Amino acid sequence: MKLSKIVIASCLVLTGFGASAQKAARDAKMDAYINKLMAKMTIDEKIGQLNLPSIGFDVTGPILSQGVEGKIEKGMVGGVFNTYTPNAVRKLQELAIKKTRLKIPLLFGYDVIHGHRTIFPIPLGLSASWDMPLIQKTARAAADEATADGLNWVFSPMVDIARDPRWGRVAEGGGEDTWLGSQIAIAMVKGYQGEKNDLRREDAVLACVKHFALYGAAEAGRDYNTVDMSMRKMTETYLPAYKAAVDAGVATVMSSFNEINGVPAAANHWLLTDLLRNQWGFNGMVATDYTAIMELKNHGMGDDAQVAKLALVAGNDMDMVSDLFIGELKKLVQAKKLDVKYIDLACRRVLESKYKLGLFDDPYRNISEDRAKNNIMNAEKLALAKEAAEKSMVLLKNDNSTLPLKSGQKIAFVGPMVKNQRDLIGNWSGAGDWKKAVSFWDALQAQYPSNKFTYAKGANILDDQALIDKLNPHDAQIVLDSKSPADLIKEAVNNAKDADVVVAMLGEAFGMSGEAASRSDIGLPVNQQNLLKALRETGKPIVLVLMNGRPLTLQWEHDNTAAILETWFPGTKAGDAIADVLFGKYNPSGKLTMTFPRSVGQVPIYYNAKSTGRPVSDQKYTSKYLDIPNTPLYPFGHGLSYTTFGYSDVKLSKTSIRNGERLQASVTLSNTGKYDGEETVQLYIRDMVGSVTRPLKELKGFQKIYLKAGESKTVTFNVSTDDLKFYDINMKYTTEPGDFKLFIGSSSADVKEADFKLL
């Protein structure tokens, strides 16, 4: 015990993060209100506030959240999740308000991850838009729909930096980069909680940044797996995105399932109290992840009583689904094994969250059928869904301007995604109705009714029914085609032979990414590869349109197709957006936020790696593979357009600066192609010499520039010496004088560079 205290103390000094804006003056009125309320509360009522059961369904086998209504009436519930609609929420809230002694309202949480009823692209897709105002708008729209449906708390944003595409939950986050991930975290918190962070507005929700912390670094990309990481790596790379959400005023935090250097996050006092609260100044509420307290027993942290105490003392305020706070805490206090002050503190934080939402004044927050009818899936939201879907798509390759398609062409559309609806809205779209999603085929028929298009399914998404059933146990909709795999391929090949161009729409079933969806092989399913190989034999140009929740390995596909468009899971307006992109009504502008490897053997792979002492070269004893290059198939920041963009050399306003000064770096960007289009101009910096090794490149800025065909524009970045700061050998966040390289370009691997000095 003593030893861990010492280690913890040194970590605290080392992390070097400043206290956040949350450490503002306390709200005296709120304090007075809650003091008065808590003075009336029994210990049972206080512990009841810490309980967060699921009502609706359970994911981990046995139905854990039994008899929730009864518990609400007894004051044994502080909030519930997995219930929505004005009626269902009102019914439960009435139980709390009318049946309990102190009439304390409930929180209503839900996994609103990429839209509530109107579903936007999966977060990894949204991040590829590099469009922060757009991302903020999607979160705002989601909050508006969620509150109209009675919710007041969303379990989002998920800001886990992830560099291992085997991990299925990469679909839920903003990719591999710390700086970009932090911008996204801020945009989403502002979207959910409102620009002014006024949580009393009827359309604002408590956001919940998750999964704190480092969940994206699970060993071997296997979900829930161990995380063991140096303090430097977590401080530089993995923690800043959570910190950015805290600084943006996020109201709640979810502690993660994984262990961190030997202590599970849900029991990690250093993480949840020393770092999050004491150092970062977070003053909101922490909830555990689903049954995470119970899972501490599997981690080997003790019995029910021990793990309940550990979790509370570590800094969790609400127990999601384990029922161990309500089961154990009172007994622990009675046995003098737990100081009641921990219960008081957690209860206060839960009540504060309710107070901030204005629930004590209006527990129903103006929920009404009318508001739900007007606000949910209205024209404005659907238009936003289409815009977001278009802007998230990434053109990975386009030989000989195969895309956009020309409407007079004879086109064979092939693949399990062409008529698909079920998968379009992706994972974590709980309240989204896939039957309302626009399939590509329907969009096509609506827009081009008299064209020479043929359709053949060509393949099932997977040929393994048992695996399909496992992917999403709550959904029995996906069944194998009655035709044999060979017959499906034959039919597709026949269509292809008659066509000018073949569009193969392939990918993952939505359940192949997301939670508990790790894959060791991240290629297209083998049966779909077989289809593609057969199509290749026809010699027709192939456009591959992908739908998937993670970077895939696509070397064969890259070598054997003319064009590849990554659409992720595009959401409710998927079909319309894909049709507009394929036929050139929208010129694709998305850029990857996660590296696509050549082979899974390169994983983890990310653009801002270090040099090593033996950088790759033709020499034998250098850092490389014998069988493949070190470079990825598609690097971070990559994404083509139907037009072409030219970059001039980089001009610097000066070649040396002093601390506190700025320099301007500019390029002339020219649209040198035939289409109007948008380019994301990226700025990277490298610190050439440091007291610790520095990455080869780090993203420090970007600008989205729209240019008409033939137009040029000077794009200028203001670089400040804050952009040059890093955690030095003493973990002090500072600059060190010396040489720097600055890069501006179209992706992390396609840049122009210039040198400057920090004096």
DSSP 8-state symbol, 600:
G
C-alpha to C-alpha distance for 392 and 125, rounded to whole angstroms: 5
- Under the binding rule (CB under 6 A), the answer on residue 723 touching ligand BGC is no
Residue (290 or 645) nearer to ligand BGC, CB: 290
The nearer residue to ligand BGC, 290 or 455, going by C-beta atoms, is 290
Residue number with CB closer to ligand BGC (123 or 194):
123
Helix (H) or strand (E) holding 13: helix 2-15
Phi then psi for 3, rounded to 5 degrees?
-60, -45
Nearer to ligand BGC by Cβ, of 179 and 215: the residue is 215
We find the least distance from the C-beta atom of residue 424 to ligand BGC, in angstroms, to be 21
Nearer to ligand BGC, 212 or 355 (CB): 212
Smallest distance from ligand BGC to CB 159, Å: 12
- Residue whose CB is less far from ligand BGC, 210 or 686: 210
Nearer to ligand BGC, 155 or 440 (CB): 155
Neighbours of 466 (CB within 10 A): 7
**Complex with ligand BGC: residue 111 or 678, whichever CB lies closer:** 111
Q: Please state the closest distance from residue 377 (CB atom) to ligand BGC, in A.
A: 22
Closest CA to 114 of 82, 138, 81, 84: 138
d(Cα 35, Cα 17) in Å, to the nearest integer?
32
CA nearest neighbour of 552 among 501, 495, 512, 608: 512
Q: How far is the CB of 60 from ligand BGC (least distance, A)?
A: 8
Nearer to ligand BGC, 211 or 349 (CB): 211
DSSP-H helix ranges across 545-588: 555-560, 574-582
The pair of three-digit structure tokens given for residue 425, joined into one six-digit string: 């809205």
Binding mask 472-511 for ligand BGC (x = CB under 6 A): ----------------------------------------
State the Cα torsion 308-312-316-318 to the nearest 10°: 60
Least distance from C-beta 289 to ligand BGC, angstroms? 5
Element at 720 (helix H, strand E): strand 712-720
CB 118 within 8 A of CB 572: yes
How does DSSP assign 626-683, residue by residue?
A: SSS-SS-SB-TT--B-SS-EEE---EES-SEE-TT-EEEEEEEEEE-SSS-EEEEEEE
Least Å from the CB of residue 161 to ligand BGC: 16
For position 515 contacting ligand BGC by CB under 6 A, the verdict is yes
Q: Are 568 and 547 in contact (CB under 8 A)?
A: yes
Distance in angstroms (rounded) separating the CA atoms of residues 387 and 51 = 39
SS3 598: coil
Residue nearer to ligand BGC on the CB measure, 254 or 405: 254
Nearest to ligand BGC of 116, 348 (CB atom): 116
Q: How many other C-beta atoms lie within 10 A of the C-beta of residue 604?
A: 17
CB of 257 to ligand BGC, least distance (A): 6
Is 289 known to be catalytic? yes
Q: Verify binding: residue 365, ligand BGC, rule CB under 6 A.
A: no
Element of type H or E holding 704: strand 698-707
Contacts of 577 (CB under 8 A, 6+ apart): 386, 389, 390, 393, 567, 570, 586
Q: Is residue 618 classed exposed, middle or buried when 0-12, 13-18 and 19+ CB atoms within 10 A define those classes?
A: exposed
- The candidate with the shortest Cα–Cα distance to 562, out of 697, 408, 432, 400, is 400
Which CA distances in Å does 90 have to 72, 176, 367, 471?
Answer: 13, 41, 8, 33
* Contact between 444 and 453 (Cβ < 8 Å): yes
Cβ of residue 515: shortest distance to ligand BGC, in angstroms? 6
First-last CA distance in the chain:
46
DSSP 462-488: -S-HHHHHHH-TT-------SS-HHHH
Residue selected from 116, 201, 210, 381 as contacting ligand BGC according to rule CB under 6 A: 210
Sheet holding 252-255: strands in order across?
A: 208-212, 252-255, 285-287
**Structure token pair of residue 693:** 């090794």
Residues 63-102 vs ligand BGC: string with x where CB under 6 A? ----------------------------------------
Q: How far is the CB of 155 from ligand BGC (least distance, A)?
A: 4
Q: How far is the CB of 224 from ligand BGC (least distance, A)?
A: 9
Q: Cα 288 vs. chain centroid, distance in angstroms?
A: 18
Residue 50 CB, shortest distance to ligand BGC, in Å, is 16
Residue written as token pair 């004893």: 621
Q: How many residues bind ligand BGC (CB under 6 A)?
A: 6
Binding residues among 280-309 for ligand BGC as defined by CB under 6 A: 289-290
Q: Binding ligand BGC by CB under 6 A: which of 77, 95, 96, 111?
A: 111
Alpha-carbon distances of 21 from 25, 270, 281, rounded to whole Å = 10, 20, 7
CB of 158 to ligand BGC, least distance (A): 7
Quick one: which H or E segment has residue 397? strand 394-398
As measured in angstroms, the least distance from the Cβ of 74 to ligand BGC is 23
Which one of residues 130, 153, 155, 634 is an interface residue with ligand BGC (CB under 6 A)? 155
Query: Diameter of the chain by CA atoms?
Result: 81
Q: Which residues inside 651-710 make contact with ligand BGC, applying CB under 6 A?
A: none
Q: In what order do the strands lie in the sheet with 79-81?
A: 79-81, 107-110, 153-154
Question: Residue 177 or 289: which CB sits closer to ligand BGC?
Answer: 289
Restricting to residues 186-205, name those near ligand BGC by CB under 6 A. none
HEC letters along 324-386:
HHHHHHHHHHHCCCCCHHHHHHHHHHHHHHHHHCCCCCCCCCCCCHHHHHHHCCCHHHHHHHH
Instruction: Give the nearer residue to ligand BGC in terms of CB position, either 175 or 514.
Output: 514
Q: From the candidates 160, 289, 323, 576, which is the catalytic residue? A: 289
The residues that touch ligand BGC, with contacts defined as CB under 6 A, are 111, 155, 210, 289-290, 515
The set of catalytic residues is 289
